[in-house]
Amino acid sequence: MVTGARVRGGRRVVLLLAALWLGWAAAQPAVDAWPRPAERPLVGEPAWLHPEGRERLLQELVALFRTHYWDADHVDWADWGARHREAVVAAEDRGALDAVFGRMVRELGDDHSSWLGLPGGSEAGEREITPTPRLGVQLSYVDGRGLVVERVYPGTPAAAVDLRRADVITAVGDRDLRSAGSLFEANAALAAALGDGSAALRVERGRMAFDVEVAASTLAWGEVATRPYAVMLGEDVGYLHVPTFNEAGVGLAVHRALRGLAADGARSLVIDLRGNLGGRLVEAGLVAGAFLEGPWAQATARGELAWSATYEVGPAPNGGLQAVSRLVQPDGAVVGEARVDEPAAFAGPVVVIVGSETASAGEIVAGALLAAGRARAVGERTQGNVEAVRAYALSDGSRVLVAVARVEGSDGAALEAGVTPEVTARASVLDLARGVDPPVAEALRLLGGLPFTPGRWF
């Protein structure tokens, strides 16, 4: 795990998280909820192989949550451990033990705390993955229309030939995909053509049809999928999709993208945070800071302020300007920090698009922009998962993420209800197949004060 402040939402994406280091003591106190088992040497053997070793791991886990969980009264911690003691002691192998600990942590219901187990513990995680040539697109299939482009990843072959969201690939070479019958069949035809080298694609964009020649390439997919994507939606409106704050460098990439959009003439902006499940708060702070300066969020734990999130711009050591995103404790200690040179500062009108899968740092940034009066919002209500986590290791090397703080607005406003946009809109695959992304169209209507025009954008 990499230390660094981050939050996230959604159980199904738990492995996107890294640790949040909040700087307070990590000493694990003794657990007196039940008697300690009889000690015996376990030299050369993992603790979990023996019932008493498994029970000690359970005691350590309960101690971590009882000491560090942001809400001290969330559950009766001793009862929480005692209810699972029998299953822990009876676990016959490592998989069974991990399953018990995983159930325990999921019981807390916060969507942030998570049992990770031993590093590299699963066979699947240890298998070598063969790189696969890709176009760099996310596709769906609509019968009678073809392969619908849902997302284009920057720096990929698809981006190089200017494929865009809501384009429809109707044919690959001589193969008409409109009658392929399924996503599997259409993808198979595309893969077969790419396997022979470059492929000729017939693409429809609204009422326009054109041909492109494209060849797949081997991509570092984890890196490509996290890159912000920017494009102009006309002469003076920029579009910026930020899929995650989970990787170091996201803030830097966003500032570069904003400078590029400004150079292209963008005077207003659509920020798309759909699907953004969160990530590093210091990276999120760099993004928020491009639109507002000063405090933008804070976190509390056990009724006290844990840290404040701030963004400041000042002189860089070697000249020019430098922006700093920090998490600062009440005593002034800095517990997280990220910097970017020559920061962008966008002062024009902004509309943020959020969705039902926007969570954690994604919705915190959206909420901060709305609270500061720097943006309006379109889309669907966000998840309201706004906790911060820290990674801990048990004595056998097992890892667990503990929700150690609740993130709030800089004024202490609660965010558990999520961000509710003023205009509700969502995009289905059928909408995209018709060439329209309703949330983007609504965002443009708010920016321009013009009637909604379906099909104009994307």
Is 9 within 8 Å of 383 (Cβ atoms)?
yes
For tokens 């969160």, what's the residue?
Answer: 278
Q: Return the residue matching tokens 């430098």.
A: 322
Separation of alpha carbons 79 and 107, rounded Å: 13
Please give the pLDDT value at position 41: 41
Phi, psi of 427, rounded to the nearest 5 degrees? -110, 125
- Print pLDDT tens along the chain (458 aa): 223 344 444 433 332 333 332 322 222 233 333 333 334 444 456 777 888 999 999 999 999 999 999 999 999 999 999 999 999 999 989 999 999 999 999 999 988 899 999 987 544 333 343 455 689 899 999 999 999 999 999 889 999 999 999 999 999 999 999 999 899 999 999 999 988 788 999 999 988 999 999 998 887 777 788 899 999 998 899 999 999 998 899 999 999 999 999 999 999 999 999 999 999 999 999 999 999 999 999 999 999 999 999 999 999 998 899 999 999 999 999 999 999 999 999 999 999 999 999 999 999 999 999 999 999 999 999 999 899 888 999 998 999 999 999 999 999 999 989 999 999 999 999 999 998 999 999 999 999 875 544 444 44
Global pTM value: 0.80
Q: DSSP states of 115-151 as a string? A: EEESTT-SHHHHSPPPP-EE-SEEEEEETTTEEEEEE
Block residue for tokens 């803030």: 251
Domains observed in the chain: 7-126 (no CATH), 133-218 (2.30.42.10), 225-386+404-448 (3.90.226.10)
Q: First vs last Cα of the chain: how many Å apart?
A: 39
**Residue-wise over 412-444: b if at least 16 C-beta within 10 A, else e?**
eeebeebbebebebebeeebbbbbbbbbbbbbb
Our CA angle for 29, 32, 33, nearest 5°, is 120
User: What does the block give as tokens for 71?
Assistant: 């809400």
How far is the C-alpha of 152 from the C-alpha of 432, rounded, in Å?
Answer: 13
Q: What angle do CA 448, 366, 235 make, to 5 degrees?
A: 30
Rounded to whole angstroms, how far apart are CA atoms 396 and 46? Answer: 7
Strand 146-152 and strand 133-134: pairing?
unpaired
Q: How many Å is the Cα radius of gyration of the chain? A: 25
Please tell me the predicted confidence (pLDDT) of residue 73.
Answer: 95
Closest to 435 (Cα-Cα) out of 203, 134, 156? 203
How, if at all, do strands 423-424 and 376-379 pair? parallel
DSSP letters, 46-90, are -GGGSHHHHHHHHHHHHHHHHHH-S-TTSS-HHHHHHHHHHHHHH
Q: Are 141 and 182 in contact (CB under 8 A)?
A: yes
3 state SS of 357: coil
370 neighbors 376 (Cβ within 8 angstroms): yes
pLDDT of residue 163: 93
What is the rounded distance in angstroms from the CA atom of residue 244 to the CA atom of residue 273? 8
Question: Residue 121: its pLDDT value, please?
Answer: 53
